[in-house]
Amino acid sequence: MPGKSRTIRKEIKKKQRQRRRQKQAQQRDKQLEEEEAEKQKVIDPEYQKWQKQQLEWEEFERLASERQQQDEEEAWLRREALAQRQFQLDAAERRCEEDKINRLREQQAQELASIKEQQRQRREERKRMADRAAAEFESMMKTMDEYLNDTDTLKPPPLELQRLVETHPQERLCEFFTRTNCCRFGHTCSHNHRRPMLAKILLIRHFFSHPLLKLTSSDDYLELTEHDLRDSYDEFFHDAVAELEKFGKIVNFRALRNTLDYLRGHVFVEYAQERHALRAFINLQGRYYASRQLNVEFSNLKGWRGAVCGT
Ligand SMILES: [Zn+2]
């Protein structure tokens, strides 16, 4: 029966609609209830208090977090500022050190330049002195040559040759050298040694030599006597005078029989004229006698007594 089944279907559909509507109504009611509960809650003073506290707490946390962040930022900025300051201090210190080093280098360079300049000036001064000495020597040789070859034999020596040579003109005279023309300090003596450029007297150092004059212990030369020394000296005297007479007239001949190293065997020869002495000087200087090189110089000995204590 189709009519019946349609009715049933209608009924079923009707039921279904009813259920749907009921469900919707239930849902609506539930929502309304919830909304109502919510409204109730909002107006509940406890809830409002709790909510207020909650909000205060959240605000406090936010502020605390903000504050912490700010503190951290400030700390970082302080560290950064300190680091910057330290960097600037280090840089300033480095610059200061570099300046110091540069100044030191500059100073050293200046000192070196000054030393080099002084050395150059000293070299130039030495060269000037050497040149002047060489020129003076040349001039002196020429003057000596002219004086030696002058036919007027009675003419006194030129003024240039009558000069005195001094080792330390500012110092006081060396007494020993002045008295004997010898000094145990030789060229190293700090006092003034004054000698003539030309004189009638010649000093020939260590000209006479004999073992007895070198005596340090008499035992070494027991067999030698004063008589041996006398014989040797006589022989030397005759030989030397014969040689020295070739240059001019000799008026005095004295030998030192002193055993001191710096006096031993020195011979003083006095010629009648400076010209003779000069001739002897030129011929004997550097020549060998008895296998020893002769060392000759002009002497301004004032008296024999002070200088010579032997024959
Ligand atoms: Zn002296």
What's the pLDDT score for residue 22? 93
Compute, in angstroms, the gap from residue 177 CA to the centroid of ligand 1: 5
d(CA 268, CA 257): 12
Averaged over 139-150, what is the pLDDT? 88
Compute, in angstroms, the gap from residue 300 CA to the centroid of ligand 1: 15
Letter string b/e over residues 199-208, b meaning 16 or more CB atoms within 10 A of that residue's CB = bbbbbbbbbb
User: What are the boundaries of each domain within the chain?
Assistant: 29-124, 159-307
Compute, in angstroms, the gap from residue 261 CA to the centroid of ligand 1: 15
What's the pLDDT score for residue 250? 96
Per-residue pLDDT of 146-199, as tens digits, reads 998 888 888 888 888 888 999 999 999 999 898 888 888 988 999 999 999 999
Q: Is 2 helix (H, G, I), strand (E, B) or coil?
A: helix
Compute, in angstroms, the gap from residue 306 CA to the centroid of ligand 1: 16
Compute, in angstroms, the gap from residue 33 CA to the centroid of ligand 1: 142
Query: What are the tokens at 32?
Result: 């309304």
Compute, in angstroms, the gap from residue 130 CA to the centroid of ligand 1: 24
Compute, in angstroms, the gap from residue 178 CA to the centroid of ligand 1: 8
Which of the four pLDDT bands, split at 50, 70 and 90, describes residue 37?
confident
> How is residue 44 annotated by DSSP?
-
Compute, in angstroms, the gap from residue 67 CA to the centroid of ligand 1: 99
Q: Is 177 helix (H, G, I), strand (E, B) or coil?
A: helix
Compute, in angstroms, the gap from residue 267 CA to the centroid of ligand 1: 19
Beta strands in the chain (DSSP E): 164-166, 194-196, 201-204, 250-255, 267-271, 288-289, 292-293, 296-299
Q: Is 259 helix (H, G, I), strand (E, B) or coil?
A: coil
Compute, in angstroms, the gap from residue 188 CA to the centroid of ligand 1: 8
What's the pLDDT score for residue 307? 60
Compute, in angstroms, the gap from residue 43 CA to the centroid of ligand 1: 133
10 Å CB burial of residue 269 (0-12, 13-18, 19+) is buried
Per-residue pLDDT of 65-75, as tens digits, reads 999 999 999 99
For 209, other C-beta atoms within 10 Å of its C-beta total: 15
Which of the four pLDDT bands, split at 50, 70 and 90, describes residue 306?
low
Per-residue pLDDT of 221-233, as tens digits, reads 556 677 888 888 9
What's the pLDDT score for residue 271? 95
Which of the four pLDDT bands, split at 50, 70 and 90, describes residue 212?
confident
Per-residue pLDDT of 108-126, as tens digits, reads 999 999 999 999 999 999 9
Compute, in angstroms, the gap from residue 204 CA to the centroid of ligand 1: 18
The more confident residue out of 258 and 5 is: 5
Averaged over 22-34, what is the pLDDT? 93
Query: What are the tokens at 278?
Result: 């000069």
Compute, in angstroms, the gap from residue 173 CA to the centroid of ligand 1: 8
What's the pLDDT score for residue 47? 85
What's the pLDDT score for residue 310? 40
159-307 — its CATH code?
3.30.70.330
